[in-house]
């Protein structure tokens, strides 16, 4: 009986761990996309500032 209880508890633990891992992987993916987008926007802004600086000279 105790062995069965341990088996069930261990299975539940593994399932929770797997779910948490998948949630973290999804969050990492989301943050990577946000970083890529922000980097692109930063690059555009820097380029635009460079052109504006040239126009002022």
User: Is 18 within the bounds of a domain?
Assistant: no
User: Does a structural domain hold residue 43?
Assistant: yes
pLDDT in tens, 15-48: 999 999 999 999 999 999 999 999 999 999 999 9
| pLDDT score for 45 | 97
Q: CA–CA separation, 50 vs 33, rounded Å?
A: 26
- Number of domain units in the chain: 1
pTM of the full structure? 0.72
Q: Give the domain range for residue 51.
A: 25-57
CA distances from 21 to 2, 3, 9, 26, 28 (A): 28, 27, 18, 9, 10
Q: Give alpha helix (H) positions in the chain.
A: 2-56
pLDDT at 47: 95
**How does residue 57 score in pLDDT terms, banded at 50, 70 and 90?**
confident
**DSSP code of 36?**
H
Is residue 4, in this structure, part of any structural domain at all?
no
């Amino acid at each position: 009986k105790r062995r069965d209880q341990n088996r069930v508890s261990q299975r539940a633990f593994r399932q929770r761990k797997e779910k948490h891992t998948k949630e973290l992987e999804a969050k990492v993916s989301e943050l990577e996309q946000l970083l890529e987008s922000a980097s692109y926007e930063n690059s555009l802004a820097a380029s635009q500032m460079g052109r504006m600086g040239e126009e002022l000279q």
